[in-house]
Amino acid sequence: MLNIEKYGAIDIGSNAIRLLIATIIERENQPPQFKKTSLVRVPIRLGADVFLEGKISEGNYARMIDAMNAYSLLMKTHGVKRYRACATSAMREATNGKEVAAKIQKETGINIQIINGQDEAAIIASTDLQDLIDTDKTFLYVDVGGGSTEFTVFANGRTVASKSFKLGTVRVLNDMVKESIWDDVKKWIKKNTKDYDKVSLIGSGGNINSIYKSSGKKLGKPLSYFYLSNYFQRLKSYTYHDRIFELQMNPDRADVIVPATRIYLSAMKWSKAKNIYVPKIGLSDGIIKSLYNEKRAKAMEVEL
């Protein structure tokens, strides 16, 4: 007999808000299967409000209400058993972040948890990321968002260092990242990778997923520094409108993909990594996995 349930994850980022609905299939004495059933992305750029004005605007608040109502109905239609909504950098820094979260819960019933960078990195680490990390290799995990980037060094099969920096694509676009932030990231990466002979990157985020898809690489095969560097030069040679038309990018992707690629390339350069793996995982995947792990933990408590 199979036990089949659907879980929902809402990722409220600085560049977009996503709803992932996943189907979890369980069979006794077998590892569970996680299947992505539906992914909906709405480009509500909260970071453009918060990083410039310090708060979420009335216009974007109204759009968030619409999005949460829509996501609530989608989860109801799918028969989602449990869900979690997590907000990151933009709502974390907004002076009215907690107020907006409380209003949204009252209006839509969606409870939003505003998490810090360390929590975000820990949630993502609960995904299938562990399956990719060989115990005899060293990886620098880089998750680029609109407001921040999370860096984690894995060596000998465990986490040895992790840090979140206010280095995000929306911040860079709005010229809000000082050179000192880039210097801090450079120092941190060099310090935490210098003792390892060979480091590879693991990249996550919508931008690196988009780059990987356009590369035509077979899933599991890495992108080289040489490929990413050439792609970066190609991106910069196009105007914003040409990226939309000629490269067929979404308007909300065509601008942020340039600073995102710069962040990945910089991380590769400073860690001396020659390759970047793109497992296509993110915060929403981590939320689904953490919800499942919590369910299993409760079941084990009952059994005891």
Question: Is domain 2-116+284-296 annotated with CATH 3.30.420.40?
Answer: yes
What is the pLDDT at residue 8? 98
203 HSE (CA, 13 A, CB side)? 30
The full DSSP string for 90-134 is HHHH-TTHHHHHHHHHHHH-PPEEE--HHHHHHHHHTSTHHHH--
What is the pLDDT at residue 122? 79
Instruction: Compute φ and ψ for 286, nearest 5 degrees.
Output: -65, -35
Q: Which tens digits make up the pLDDT trace of 140-187?
A: 999 999 999 999 999 887 889 999 999 999 999 999 999 999 999 999
Tokens 């349930």 belong to which residue?
Answer: 5
Q: Which tens digits make up the pLDDT trace of 17-41?
A: 999 999 999 999 899 999 999 999 9
Domain residue spans in the chain?
Answer: 2-116+284-296, 129-280
pLDDT at position 304 over 60: no
Q: What are the strands of the beta sheet with 2-12, ordered from one edge?
A: 33-42, 17-27, 2-12, 82-87, 112-114
Give the tokens for residue 9. 């994850």
Dist. CA 284–CA 90, nearest whole Å: 16
Rounded to an integer, the average pLDDT of 104-131 is: 84
Whether the Cβ atoms of residue 41 and residue 67 lie closer than 8 Å to each other: no
What is the pLDDT at residue 166? 93
Assign 3-state DSSP to the chain and report helix, strand, coil percentages, each to 5: 50, 25, 25
Whole-model pTM over 0.75: yes
Asked if domains 2-116+284-296 and 129-280 share a fold, the reply is yes
pLDDT at position 132 over 90: no
What is the pLDDT at residue 158? 83
CATH of region 129-280? 3.30.420.150
What is the pLDDT at residue 129? 65
pLDDT at position 103 over 60: yes
pLDDT at position 267 over 80: yes
Local confidence band at 124 (pLDDT 50, 70, 90 cut-offs): confident
pLDDT at position 14 over 60: yes
Whether the Cβ atoms of residue 147 and residue 47 lie closer than 8 Å to each other: yes
Query: What whole-number percentage of the chain has pLDDT above 70?
Result: 96
- Mean pLDDT over all residues of the chain? 93
What is the pLDDT at residue 111? 97
Q: Which residue has the higher pLDDT, 116 or 239?
A: 239
Dist. CA 192–CA 187, nearest whole Å: 9
What is the pLDDT at residue 123? 83
Buried b (16+ CB within 10 A) or exposed e, 280-301: bbbbbbbbbbbbbeeeeeeeee
Q: Which tens digits make up the pLDDT trace of 219-258?
A: 889 999 999 999 999 999 999 999 999 999 999 999 999 9
